[in-house]
């Protein structure tokens, strides 16, 4: 356990990672732009690096003082990770895994080549109307036009319903970006599974129901509601099969679509802890963060430690109209029993920014639903 972990990125995922690391006295150094970023606030040992995680010198400096380098965001420069790995730094998950996953089209191609079902996808040769027309002939309309890289919170996506949307879709996503088109998934629900890849096992946490609003994760319910035991198991199997396609160790968030006929498709994979796994902090013996550390440091990990202790609901605290809206939310949440509050230390709120989350766990899902209902209403009060 006297290993030092270096992390590219220092946001809320890094913050929760270091909260888990502190309990095991695992030292973690962060590289990111902010001296008091959410993660750096939690551990103070003078070895963090302030700089861009896309800057080669800064990443090399982090590597020099780390036994293992890992990421909390996939939008990093994998050429530098490849270089430090060739000079002997252990990079987890493997830089090739990060490189493939950060290109959503390449990710889908790799999954499909291993027999993992995903939405049918067509790359666009250029961001032009004739190329989008060609893709729509192959996939039909509606389709989802997506940026291959740098996408998050739906920010690289544009739903194309009819031909009239072609121009605005291309204008919105930008002409210089690599784009691809995805067949529209008529899903009944969205599910997610956190998978842990260790040196010799691929294990999974429970199946989570995720609810998105404006393409941002709003709520998660574990276990997923209204899903048969078969689907529950199939989702975990599919998620493990998907993650097994990639090299290296660590936790991976696997987002899936459950179609009307109960077939499952993988939407996308994140090679790191994930919003849909926050609930594991309170609801499972070992959280996704501790599981990530155990996996990358080759520490023991047991499948039964990833099982659910009791039903859990997670609600994101998104920035509202005022700069301290998240604090007002937390004040309200303090009034609710069985409610764990996580604020991320991001300072002033900006509209829609992830400022924190709450997790309610209870002996039954229906009790958890009753407890969290006033907080969902509070979160919705400013909605137009
Ligand atoms: P994240 O913040 O999860 O990384 P992202 O920007 O990478 O998000 P996606 O996961 O590709 O975006 O899509 C965001 C949401 O858009 C999905 O959760 C789903 O609700 C919807 N969506 C994505 N692809 C499709 C599709 N092919 N058909 C229908 N809806 C889709
Ligand atoms: Mg994504
Ligand atoms: Mg997504």
- Model pLDDT for residues 60-94, shown as the tens digit of each residue: 999 999 999 999 999 999 999 999 999 999 999 99
Top mutation candidate among 144, 181, 353 for ligand 1, by most atoms within 8 Å of CB: 144
Which strands make up the sheet holding 68-71, listed edge to edge?
49-50, 27-32, 4-8, 68-71, 90-91
DSSP code for 224: P
| Distance set, CA 70 to CA 14, 19, 52, 151, 249 (Å) | 10, 16, 15, 20, 10
Q: Residue 163: CB within 6 Å of ligand 1? A: no
Return the exposure string of 128-157: e unless at least 16 CB atoms fall within 10 Å of the residue's CB, then b.
eeebbeebbeebeeebbbbbbbebeeeebb
Q: Is 23 exposed, middle or buried (0-12, 13-18, 19+ CB in 10 A)?
A: exposed
Beta bridge partners of 209: 191, 221
ipTM score: 0.99
What stretches in the chain show pLDDT beneath 50?
Answer: none
Beta bridge partners of 182: 121, 144
Q: Residue 151: CB within 6 Å of ligand 1? A: yes
**Ligand 2 centroid vs 153 CA: distance in angstroms?**
7
pLDDT for position 176:
62
pLDDT tens per residue, range 264-299: 999 999 999 999 999 999 999 999 999 999 999 999
SS3 at position 68? strand
Top mutation candidate among 71, 118, 154 for ligand 1, by most atoms within 8 Å of CB: 154
Q: Residue 312: CB within 6 Å of ligand 1? A: no
Atom of ligand 1 nearest to the CA of 270: 4
Given a contact cutoff of 8 angstroms between Cβ atoms, the answer to whether 122 and 247 are in contact is no
**Ligand 3 centroid vs 155 CA: distance in angstroms?**
10
Bridge pairing between strands 216-222 and 187-197: unpaired
């Amino acid at each position: 356990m006297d290993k030092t972990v270096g992390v590219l990125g220092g946001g809320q995922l890094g913050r929760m990672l270091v909260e888990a690391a502190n309990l095991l006295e695992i030292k973690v150094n962060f590289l990111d732009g902010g001296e008091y970023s959410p993660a750096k606030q939690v551990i103070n040992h003078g070895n963090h690096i302030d700089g861009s995680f896309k800057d080669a010198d800064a990443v090399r400096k982090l590597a020099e003082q780390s036994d293992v380098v890992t990421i909390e965001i996939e939008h990093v420069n994998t050429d530098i990770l490849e270089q430090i790995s060739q000079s002997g730094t252990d990079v987890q998950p493997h830089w090739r895994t990060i490189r493939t996953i950060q290109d959503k089209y390449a990710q889908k191609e790799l999954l499909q080549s291993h027999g993992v079902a995903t939405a049918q996808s067509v790359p666009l040769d250029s961001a032009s109307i004739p190329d989008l027309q060609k893709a729509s002939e192959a996939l039909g309309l509606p389709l989802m036009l997506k940026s291959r890289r740098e996408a998050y919170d739906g920010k690289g996506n544009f739903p194309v319903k009819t031909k009239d949307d072609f121009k605005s879709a291309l204008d919105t996503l930008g002409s210089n970006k690599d784009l691809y088109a995805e067949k529209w998934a008529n899903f009944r629900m969205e599910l997610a599974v956190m998978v842990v890849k260790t040196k010799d096992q691929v294990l999974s946490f429970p199946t989570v129901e995720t609810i998105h609003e404006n393409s941002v994760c709003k709520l998660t319910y574990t276990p997923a509601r209204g899903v048969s035991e078969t689907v529950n198991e199939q989702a975990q199997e599919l998620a493990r099969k998907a993650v097994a396609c990639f090299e290296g160790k660590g936790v991976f968030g696997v987002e899936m679509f459950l179609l009307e006929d109960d077939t499952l498709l993988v939407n996308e994979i994140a090679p790191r802890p994930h919003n849909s796994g926050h609930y594991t902090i309170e609801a499972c013996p070992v959280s996704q963060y501790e599981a990530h550390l155990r996996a990358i440091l080759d520490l023991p990990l047991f499948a039964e430690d990833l099982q659910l202790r009791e039903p859990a609901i997670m609600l994101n605290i998104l920035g509202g109209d005022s700069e301290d809206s998240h604090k007002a939310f937390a004040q309200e949440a303090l009034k609710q029993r069985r409610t764990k509050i996580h604020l991320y230390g991001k300072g002033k709120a900006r509209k829609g920014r992830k400022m924190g989350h709450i997790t309610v766990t209870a002996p039954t899902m229906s009790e958890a639903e009753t407890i969290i209902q006033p907080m969902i209403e509070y979160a919705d009060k400013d909605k137009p």
